[in-house]
């Protein structure tokens, strides 16, 4: 029988195990996410086999967990007369985990049983404070809360947490331990997280201001500030032109690279870009930046044309309102926190045969600042374009304007006048 979406749904209808009532909906969800016909059919076949195995071993939905998936995967491997490829077993395991996640989202089986300790309760309150009172981004909350949890675990272990029992020696010992394990810049971020947590503890009345002041500073300065890692204008243009405008992926990648090069957007700002953020009539785009801040930027003609070309002939049909979507199923917006934008940059540099020591997306943002500086823009104007909150963030670009700095140099005593 020729494979089709209808045949994939019909494949799972004879199921009689504990998953029988949910397999059709699972296959339908795969179709909505625009998986290919063959992929939906194979996933449905794996799900049906798993349903039969659960029925044979008497596993109910109320007891279903990751351990059952592991048992099933080992069982399937041992029954084969010849060794199965590791990649095949891995794909089968991924299908079962995807099915388990779907069942949990539908409320058909219990959520994962995570191990917790008293420190997690304190950290949970800290996270709610950062999210609702401070309005921090999820990535920042995750980084700071991880530091807080590490401190509490190092001091209290799995015992009940008493913030009033924290002492300056505990904080200093934790920082000293981290300084032996990671680089100084990472320790500096750890210290920042510690101060944020102890201020929260002070806000709750559990500790005093002296404990917050006891957090040691970390020396990370250098005699010469590092120069921004900017890509040259020629290399940036070659990377942009390397995108194949005849394919959907090429049109998407070109629009992304132009946003990086012309507007200096951060990767998180491209991830968050929605269809409603682009005002084609007024010619501007709304940028959702760090810390929940928003601003309007003019939309250059070449950037607007590249985005329009992708939207008109390249962007998959989807209810997702993000401008840039994945090219493979599941069709959804590029996931924030992933390396999707970085991959686009690396592949473009490779296609353009640009031998650059830096492969990240942020070098386009630095390149825009360098270009503006060379054209006579002031540091304050560059800071406005890059949406810097502090002038110190923009001041690093003063070190690369050699001609402007040359005029400030004093004559060498006894030298030529």
Determine which one of 43, 76, 362, 366 is catalytic: 362
- Buried b vs exposed e over 288-325: b needs ≥16 C-beta within 10 Å? ebeeeeeeebebbeebbebbebbbeebbeebebebbbb
Query: Catalytic: 71?
Result: no
Determine which one of 149, 365, 366, 387 is catalytic: 365
Question: Rounded to whole angstroms, how far apart are CA atoms 135 and 149?
Answer: 20
Query: Catalytic: 365?
Result: yes
Distances (CA, A) of 273 to 249, 268, 277, 286, 325: 17, 9, 7, 8, 11
Question: Using an 8 Å Cβ cutoff, are 349 and 343 in contact?
Answer: no
Question: Rounded to whole angstroms, how far apart are CA atoms 108 and 94?
Answer: 19
Q: Per DSSP, what are the bridge partners of residue 333?
A: 325
Question: Rounded to whole angstroms, how far apart are CA atoms 398 and 386?
Answer: 15
H-only helix segments in 182-220? 184-203, 209-213
Question: Using an 8 Å Cβ cutoff, are 130 and 138 in contact?
Answer: no
Structure tokens at 111: 């959520």
Of 58, 46, 179, give the one whose Cα is nearest residue 100.
46
Question: Sign of the CA dihedral 393, 394, 397, 403?
Answer: negative
Question: Using an 8 Å Cβ cutoff, are 101 and 330 in contact?
Answer: no
Query: Catalytic: 326?
Result: no
Determine which one of 266, 322, 366, 387 is catalytic: 266
Query: Catalytic: 388?
Result: yes
Question: Rounded to whole angstroms, how far apart are CA atoms 203 and 116?
Answer: 25
H-only helix segments in 57-137? 66-79, 86-105, 118-128
Of 317, 328, 246, give the one whose Cα is nearest residue 275.
317
Determine which one of 45, 71, 143, 388 is catalytic: 388
Query: Catalytic: 397?
Result: yes
Question: Using an 8 Å Cβ cutoff, are 247 and 255 in contact?
Answer: no
Query: Catalytic: 266?
Result: yes
Bridge-based pairing of strands 294-298 and 278-279 is unpaired
Of 111, 115, 141, give the one whose Cα is nearest residue 128.
141
Determine which one of 3, 290, 332, 346 is catalytic: 290
Active-site annotation, residues:
266, 290, 362, 365, 388, 397
């Amino acid at each position: 029988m020729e494979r089709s979406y209808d045949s994939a749904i019909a494949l799972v209808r004879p199921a009689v195990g504990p998953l029988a009532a949910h397999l059709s909906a699972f296959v339908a969800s795969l179709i909505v996410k625009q998986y290919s016909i063959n992929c939906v059919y194979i996933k449905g076949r794996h799900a049906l086999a798993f349903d039969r195995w659960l029925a044979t071993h008497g596993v109910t939905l109320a007891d279903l967990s990751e351990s059952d998936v592991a048992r099933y995967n080992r069982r399937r491997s041992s029954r084969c007369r010849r060794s199965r490829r590791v990649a095949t077993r891995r794909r089968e395991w991924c299908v079962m985990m995807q099915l388990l996640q779907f069942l949990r989202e539908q409320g058909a089986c219990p959520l994962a049983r995570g191990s917790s300790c008293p420190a997690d309760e304190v950290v949970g309150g800290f996270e709610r404070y950062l999210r609702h009172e401070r309005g921090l981004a999820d990535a920042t909350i995750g980084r700071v809360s991880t530091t807080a949890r590490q401190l509490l675990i190092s001091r209290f272990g799995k015992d009940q947490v008493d913030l009033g029992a924290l002492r300056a020696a505990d904080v200093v010992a934790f920082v000293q331990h981290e300084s032996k394990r990671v680089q100084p810049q990472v320790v500096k971020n750890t210290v920042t997280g510690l101060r944020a947590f102890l201020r929260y503890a002070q806000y709750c009345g559990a500790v005093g201001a002296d404990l917050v002041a006891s957090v040691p500073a970390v020396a990370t300065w250098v005699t010469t500030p590092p120069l921004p890692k900017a890509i040259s204008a020629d290399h940036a243009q070659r990377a942009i032109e390397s995108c194949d405008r005849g394919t959907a992926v090429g049109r998407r990648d070109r629009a992304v690279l132009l946003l990086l090069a012309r507007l200096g957007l951060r990767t998180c700002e491209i991830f968050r870009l929605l269809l409603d953020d682009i005002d084609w009539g007024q010619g501007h785009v709304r940028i959702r930046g760090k810390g929940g801040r928003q601003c309007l930027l003019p939309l250059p003609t070449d950037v607007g044309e590249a985005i329009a070309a992708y939207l008109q002939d390249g962007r998959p049909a989807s209810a997702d309102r993000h401008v840039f979507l994945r090219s493979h199923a599941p069709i959804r917006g590029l996931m924030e926190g992933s390396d999707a934008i970085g991959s686009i940059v690396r592949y473009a540099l490779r296609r353009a045969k640009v031998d650059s020591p830096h492969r990240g997306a942020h070098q386009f943002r630095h390149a825009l600042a360098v270009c503006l500086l060379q054209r006579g823009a002031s540091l304050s104007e560059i800071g406005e374009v890059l949406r810097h909150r502090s002038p110190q963030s923009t001041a690093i670009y003063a070190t690369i304007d050699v001609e402007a700095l040359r005029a400030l140099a004093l004559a060498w005593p006894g030298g030529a006048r």
